[in-house]
Amino acid sequence: MRTLNLLRREWLLLVSVATVAIFWRWGNVLFAGLSNPFWLVFIFLWLFAVILASALAVVRHADALAGRLGEPYGTLILTLSVTAVEVMSISAVMLHGANNPTLVRDTLFAVVMIILNGMVGLSLLVGGLRHSEQHYNLQGANAFLGVIIPLAVFSLIMPDFTQTTPGPRFSAHQQIFLIVMSAGLYCAFLVIQTGRHRGFFTLGDEPIEHFAKVREPIFPHAVLLLAYMVPVVSLAEKLAHPIDYLVETLHFPDQLGGLLIALLVATPEGIGAAKAALRNQLQRSMNIFLGSVLATIGLTVPAMIAVSHITGRSIDLGIEHTDYVLLLLTLAVSVVTFASGRTNILQGIVHLLLFASYVLLLIEG
């Protein structure tokens, strides 16, 4: 009976599957009218809404499994689920049409900007407005940033300065080193977070687990988690059609594809982080947004380098021009923000202004 009730609540899966079927059967007809602005907006919003809703459902079922299995498996399930959605979405869009070597870079940079500026700023602002000052474990923040900063620099800045290959990209040996370093650092951090230094990521007697233990059956949630991933991957490739039209025909910024994928990935965790801050659980909020950035760089970069070699599609990782300055500024401000063990609305406003700067520079370069 409990399983049947669970399935009745999953009406969204029927909508997602129906959308996949419609676009796979009549996609060419639907995309033929993209020159009509109203039709273009309708198709784009339809696809984006269904993909986002499916991604939210993936996180919801990963959340249920995390609560059932506990740590460290809960953290692994959540991290791997979100990362899998990101990798599969990037791969689907990257493999559509001509080679887009900057898509991975644009997506990673957009995720960092959305989370470290937009998500952090919103969480600190709403939390500060309701609770004035909020507190977190300084050791945990230092542990997160101590890994995020070198990974971000090696992945998004260092390719601009290497001499082995032309352009903002690593050589094959340098890519192998980046894979080993990124995955190794992430695994080492996960051992620290869920093992001997669990206390770094708690505040007082509050438990590290983000999710209450429940007694729901595991199998239905595992099946539904995988089922919701199918529409995300299938429709991400279809979303590439209106994105390409916007970029190639209407001359929207080239980074639009990466920004949209980043929004799909970051929104579910952003909602969770803001809700935690409103409940005066800034420690949980911090674990969510800093953990999300760490997983994005530590797991997505190695995965996408591997995909590029398998598919023969080259990728450029190094950011350029204003993005370079904005990333360094974001990392520096993040260090200042998480240097005292307490936060207030001023820090939230600063991060939101940095996010506004990212959006402005994305539009006007």
For residue 42, pLDDT beyond 90: yes
| CATH at residue 213 | 1.20.1420.30
Task: List the structure tokens of 100.
Answer: 């887009």
Structural tokens at position 7:
């399935």
Span 205-228, mean pLDDT? 65
- Name which residue leads in pLDDT, 83 or 183: 183
Task: Return the H-helix or E-strand segment holding 135.
Answer: strand 134-135
Residue 212 has pLDDT above 50, yes or no: no
Full domain range(s) for residue 73: 2-364
Would you say the C-alpha torsion 250, 253, 258, 261 has a positive or negative sign? Answer: negative
Q: Considering the chain, what percentage of its residues have pLDDT values greater than 70?
A: 89
pLDDT tens sequence across 87-101: 777 777 777 656 677
pLDDT band of 353, cuts 50, 70, 90: very high
The pLDDT score that the predictor gives to residue 313 is 79
C-alpha dist (Å) from residue 255 to 5, 100, 175, 205, 251: 42, 11, 23, 43, 11
Position 68, amino acid: R
**pLDDT at residue 75 greater than cutoff 80:** no
Report d(CA 328, CA 160) in Å as an integer.
Answer: 14
Virtual torsion, Cα 273, 274, 280, 281, nearest 10 deg: 0
Q: How many domains does the chain have?
A: 1
Of the pLDDT bands very low, low, confident and very high (cuts 50, 70, 90), residue 5 is low
Tell me which of 352 and 289 has the higher pLDDT.
352
Closest CA to 76 of 190, 172, 189, 210: 190
| pLDDT for res 248 | 75
Which pLDDT band holds residue 210 (cuts at 50, 70, 90)? very low
Q: In the prediction, which pLDDT does 67 show?
A: 67
> In the structure, what pLDDT confidence band is assigned to residue 303 with cuts at 50, 70 and 90?
confident
Q: Record the tokens describing residue 296, joined without a space.
A: 């994005």
Mean pLDDT computed over 180-194: 86
Contacts of 297 (CB under 8 A, 6+ apart): 108, 112, 148, 151, 152, 155, 182
CA distance 340 to 305: 37
The whole-number pLDDT of residue 207 equals 45
Return the pLDDT at 209: 47
- pLDDT at residue 35, as a whole number: 86
pLDDT digits (tens, 9 = 90+) for 142-178: 889 999 999 999 988 998 888 787 778 888 888 889 8
pLDDT at 242: 87
Q: Does the structure show a pLDDT above 70 at 74?
A: no
pLDDT for 332 = 94
